[in-house]
Amino acid sequence: MSEANNLKKYNRDISPTAQYDNEMSRDISLPLNTTNLESLLDSIPTPPPHGWEVKTLGEICETNIGLVYTPANVSNDEKDIIVLRSNNIQNGKIVYDDLIRVKNIKISPNKIANKGDLLMCVRNGSANLIGKTAMIDRDGVSFGAFMAIIRSKYNKFLYHLLQCDYFRNYTTQSRTSGINQISQNDIKNFKIPLPPLSVQEKILAHIQKIESSIAATQEKAKALGLELTHYIESTL
C-alpha cells in the first residue's frame, strides 16, 4: 500500500465515517450512554474531500532524546531528579514506580520534561515497547537516553494519534537493522494528517466522552459481576 493510501486509511481510522458538512453542528453536550455511543462515533469530525493537511512531526514539534547517566549517578535521595524510563510507560500512562533518580549531573533544559510533554520509548530490548508514548502529568522530570520527548501545541491530539496502529507500523518499518530502536529523525519524519486546532478540540471532546462511556460500562460490568458472585454464593 502506498504512503498516500496509508495516510488516507489513517484519516479514516482516526475519524469514523460521517457527513463532513454537518459534523461541526452536531450536539455533543448530551449525557453519553451505550445507546447513543454509535451516533457519537458517527458525529466525530471527518476529513473534507481533499483530506486534512499533512505535516511531519518535525515541522510541528520539538523533539529531544534523553540524558545519559551512569550507575555512579544513581541516587536514592528524593531531592534528586527523577529519570523516567521505558518501564514507566504503561498503557499510554506514566507510572511512577521503580523510579531512578540521578545526582551530580548537569542536565540540559531540553532533557527536562514538563506537564503536557509526550514521552516516547525509542530504544529497548523489547521490540513491543518501541514507539510507546505517554503524556507527562507533572513538571520537572527527566528521561533516559532510550526515551524522547515531543513538545508542541498539538500534543493532546498527537497523544491519541501516536496510539494508532499506523504509527506502530511506522516504528516497525523504521527500526535500525538488528536493533530495537528508532531515531530522532524517524520521529521527525513521521507524517500525520493535521486538522485545524478547532477541529482537534471537537475530536478530543468526543474522545473524552467515549472514554467516559467505556469507564462507566466497565464499572457497571464489574458491579454486575460482583452481584452475580453474591447471588451464586447465596444459593449454596
86 and 35 in one domain?
no
Q: What is the pLDDT of residue 62?
A: 93
Q: What is the pLDDT of residue 17?
A: 33
| Sheet with 118-121, side-by-side order of all strands | 62-65, 147-151, 118-121, 133-135
Q: Which long-range contacts (CB under 8 A, 24 or more apart) does 88-96 make?
A: 88/134, 89/119, 89/121, 89/129, 89/132, 89/133, 89/134, 90/134, 92/132, 92/133, 92/134, 92/159, 92/163, 93/134, 94/119, 94/134, 94/135, 94/136, 94/137
Q: Which residues form the domain of 9?
A: 1-52+195-236
157 and 47 in one domain?
no
169 and 111 in one domain?
yes
225 and 154 in one domain?
no
CATH number, domain at 148? 3.90.220.20
Q: What is the pLDDT of residue 16?
A: 37
Helices 165-174 and 3-14, interaxial angle, to 10°?
150
pTM of the model: 0.70
Q: What is the pLDDT of residue 36?
A: 58
76 and 42 in one domain?
no
216 and 178 in one domain?
no
Render each residue's pLDDT in the chain as its tens digit; 236 residues. 555 555 555 555 544 333 333 443 344 344 445 455 566 666 667 778 888 889 999 999 999 998 888 888 888 888 888 889 888 998 889 998 888 888 877 888 888 999 999 999 988 767 678 889 999 999 988 998 899 999 999 999 999 988 888 888 888 887 765 668 888 899 999 998 888 888 888 888 878 787 777 778 888 888 888 888 887 888 77
